[in-house]
Each structure stands twice: as C-alpha cells, then as structure tokens.
C-alpha cells in the first residue's frame, strides 16, 4: 500500500478517545477493575473529558468486580447535578450489580469533593447496602486529574 493513500486519514482526537474507551472497557470486562486503580481513574477521566457540565455516572460491577456497564445517569450544570439514589438503586438491580463505583466530573478542573459530594456518597452507600450492593469508591475527575474518595479516606 502506498503511504500517500493515508494522507488526511489520521483519526480525529474523538475517534482515538473512543477507541481507547473500547479497549479499556474490554479489559475491565475480562478482569477485576481494581487490579490497577490508576487505570480506573484514567478510564473515568476519558468518559467525562472536556465536558462543560457535570455528569454523574456509575460503573456497575459483577461479583468478581468486572465491568457490567458504565452509565451516565444524571446530567447537570457547570457546578452541580441532581442525583437520585433511588434511580441508582433501580439500575443496579436491573443489571444485577454486586458493586458500584460512583463517578462524577468537576468541569472547573478542581477534583476536591464538596460537603454535598460526601453526603451524597454516604446516602447512596446506605441505600445500596440495604440490598447488598457495595459502593467501592466515588471518583471525581476533571480534565487535569482524578480523586478517589477511598484513597482520601472519605469512604
């Protein structure tokens, strides 16, 4: 094949990101997603990269901590999102999840959890515990980094 045939056919950044997400999703479906906490953070950062609004999503995991689904459940504004624990619980039961990782982004670039982030995490954890679904972590991402509430001792 002639190298000139590839001129102007380089994939866009969006196509590269989508391909990376497909690869990461396949890896998470094959093994325990917590084999590498940094890979989980990278995966979640890619999911919300560049968004100008907050998204609250959930990684639903099976009993071997393999990824069943990653689903953005709530969309908000630049600085807040309304999250309903009942809807998270309903979806977790529907996909037969044994555990979850909560995720939301901070478009401001600052990954520090707010007091409302901490309260929400506690509420969701208590709600899911009633039906034996564990909250393994709540990860906050931005275009510049990621914060694990477990690593911070907040969960």
The 67-75 sheet, strands edge to edge: 67-75, 55-61, 99-105, 134-142, 145-148
CA angle 105, 131, 68 (to 5 degrees): 50
Residue pLDDT tens, the chain, 155 long: 455 555 567 888 778 877 877 776 676 666 666 666 788 888 898 888 889 999 999 999 999 988 899 999 999 888 888 999 999 999 999 999 999 999 999 998 888 999 999 999 999 999 999 999 999 999 999 988 999 999 889 88
Q: Give the contacts of 10 (CB within 8 A, at least 6 positions apart).
A: none
CB atoms within 10 A of CB 71: 13
Domains of the chain, first to last? 12-148 (3.40.140.10)
Phi, psi of 74 (to 5 degrees): -140, 140
- Residue 99 CA, chain-centre distance (Å), reads 13
């Amino acid at each position: 094949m002639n190298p000139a045939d590839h001129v102007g056919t380089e994939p866009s950044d969006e196509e590269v990101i989508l391909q990376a997400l497909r690869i990461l999703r396949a890896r998470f479906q094959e093994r325990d997603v917590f084999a590498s906490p940094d890979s989980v953070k990278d995966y979640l950062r890619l999911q919300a990269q560049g968004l100008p609004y907050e998204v609250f999503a959930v990684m639903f995991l099976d009993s071997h901590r393999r990824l069943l689904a990653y689903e953005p459940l709530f969309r908000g504004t630049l600085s807040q999102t309304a999250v309903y624990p009942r809807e998270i619980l309903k979806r977790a039961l529907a996909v037969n999840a044994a555990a979850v990782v909560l995720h939301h982004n901070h478009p401001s670039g600052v990954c520090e959890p707010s007091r409302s982030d901490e309260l929400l995490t506690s509420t969701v954890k208590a709600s899911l515990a009633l039906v034996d679904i564990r909250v393994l972590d709540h990860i906050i991402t931005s275009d510049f980094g990621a914060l694990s509430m477990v690593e911070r001792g907040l969960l």
